[in-house]
Chains A and B, each alone.
Chain A
């Protein structure tokens, strides 16, 4: 048997030095150093967007790194394209293999490495013989003369692996290969992966399934937020360690500081109805209170928020702000009453992409920056840079187009815009969606502070742990109706989900039970 590699002895097959990748000015991978040893199976772990797939694609020549070098057998290489990668002995196996479905298995195997003349004869017999030999080597039975189309995904992956062997790849990268496979197919894949390792090849294995990583991999590298956090022998970590490294800190640490005192009713909604979207929605949010609004996507939560804020007003029902009944037919009415709304769709409803961060931050306070209609630049700049400091927005310049900032910083700028209006009621619709975990934590802290300063907060979120951790009360919507109003103690994953699942489905469950 093979001795598991747990330390880096000898020269690595491939080493990455300072690999950094930017997309549209946003760093998705930062200064990654990593050694891949000969004869090891190396797992890459991390949340979605942590950078592991980007790193794998850089290894395979799909992306070029913005900075940094790759060293193959100790000398720097340019992996400029997937074909260049193949020539260097690097193959990426896709989850859903990319192949030519109408060509035969044998033809797919030799793709991209025909060395004959453009109009040279194709050596069919030779090709089929070679293909069969490769299949035998892998120990799988596939008729190589059949078209790819009829093959199962598992078999298609085998063909891709065979192709890697045909070009004698020393580094084989598998990007979530097991997701579409049955347990039995996974077993076969693992057996082959181990054999390839024992031949001295290097395998990079990307998966979300910890048990698979444990069963197969010698070492793991954990990515978080574009950084490489750690590379260790798999046995040296418990599952809990791995999870903690992946998300940074556990959700418990965000727990709402219950320092805020809950006061008068700030927002009261009665029988709000917009046919086709929601009906009979009634609730209230008090000063200093964080009220969560949970439910499945499409339950009408965003529509209620949009109705309250006047983006798409309700057909009937009453809204009262700070005890006074009001009519809101335009967002400008809502703002004048002290409401603020951070919309779910930041890219289209939140930011002015090509305009400066400064202009984006001051967009909702025209009267403050221009008391007599003419904008006072110095005043505007002071207000904007004050917000930038307070919310710790990372930017190069206030004059920079906001589109150049990362998603989290864009969202902070939008929040800054609303804080400048000094709102008494804040409606936040999925405020942390698509935001790095680090910035998420900052948002949780800010939401807590805003409530503590006496503002009423309505938080729409599809992330249950977020709702449960932050909110004093959780409302749940299902199919346009409010189905639950849970206190902090009543709100659990189960109680929220139970109320969120549409009635008809619940009845079916009831019948089945």
Chain B
């Protein structure tokens, strides 16, 4: 009843106990992706003896690896709370810029540089529309996806442009240590981006922006600069992916990579990145990319029609979003 006793009883509330460490480590969406990947490998190995041959898998992966490369950067964009649906169209337009320049007599090295510049500009347009004009990125990039694809068609017409020098074509058949170059590129990019996201200030700030953009601004984080940078990076990586595709096909058409954006989103989601931002890892997207390679190749080997493959992909996307949400809801308390 006296005031000293009153002061002692008004001590601060105890915080809730932290979750056990094994839960923090195990109950993660990436764990689910890894389990699915292992499951898919086991099933696929039973379907065809080819699956015990790593070389076969790597060879058949090059088509998906182009998307997976872009999906790595898309992971950062989605963690930051935005989305970019235009990368497949950016792949097509930057590849068309490359092919058009080359056909017009520009040296191939300069044509490739022009393609990169086109990628940067397209990313910048996305960034400016989203950041400066404060528009929702999903709408902006649906708009620019149509715009960029349209421009590609205007530039390249309905024909395919080819006849590149021999050294440019067939990058997917060039091997370093028995691994196709695009796969090497993907692995290196994964490691670099995982390090950026996991150990640097910029990576940390991407998570903080995705968790709460308002709080991030108040904490002095340069939200606009980082987000614009991410959109530009999307343009660059799309342009690189477009060039890889051009090399693999030895030709460019305006409809290159049509529908590819959905495969990319699928990889990011399947890897456990949270669609509302703030959570996700490069490791998840990396695992999910291989999962998709195994499933798609497996289905082809098992003679499942391409149309039915879409059903499987669609179901996977929905299941992964539900699972990711459930896991985050659980760990959020």
Contact = CB atoms under 8 A, between A and B. Distances in A.
Interface of A: 22, 24-27, 30, 224-227, 229-230, 241, 244-245, 248-249, 309, 311, 330-332, 334-335, 341, 343, 348-355, 359, 363-364, 366, 369-370, 373-375, 392, 394-397, 399-401, 403-406, 408-409, 417, 436-439, 441-442
A332 B278 CA distance: 21
B191 to A, nearest CB: 15
B218 A311 contact: yes
Contacts of B199: 374-375
B224 to A, nearest CB: 8
A359 to B, nearest CB: 7
B12 A244 contact: no
B200 interface: yes
Given A417-B219, A438-B7, 13 more contacts: A30-B13, A227-B9, A241-B1, A249-B7, A330-B220, A331-B220, A332-B221, A363-B219, A400-B18, A404-B15, A406-B13, A409-B12, A438-B11
B51 interface: no
A24 B215 CA distance: 21
Interface string B1-25: 1010011011111111110000010
Given A230-B1, A375-B200, A408-B12, A332 B7 contact: no
A27 B13 contact: yes
A359 B215 CA distance: 13
Nearest to A331: B220
A66 to B, nearest CB: 11
Nearest to A27: B13
21 contacts: A30-B13, A226-B13, A249-B3, A249-B6, A249-B7, A330-B222, A331-B219, A332-B220, A348-B214, A350-B218, A355-B211, A355-B278, A363-B219, A370-B201, A374-B201, A375-B204, A396-B18, A399-B18, A409-B15, A436-B10, A437-B10
Number of contact residues on B: which range applies?
A: 35 or more
Interface string B206-228: 01100110111111111000000
Interface string B22-35: 00100000000000
Contacts of A309: 218
A311 B17 CA distance: 35
Contact of A311 (B7, B202, B217): B217
A360 B222 CA distance: 16
A348 B222 CA distance: 17
B12 A394 contact: yes
Given A311-B218, A374-B199, A244 B15 contact: no
A373 B15 contact: no
Given A25-B333, A350-B218, A354-B278, A436 B201 contact: no
Interface in B288-325: none
B15 A353 contact: no
A370 B10 contact: no
Contacts of B201: 366, 369-370, 373-375
A399 B199 CA distance: 16
A134 B6 CA distance: 45
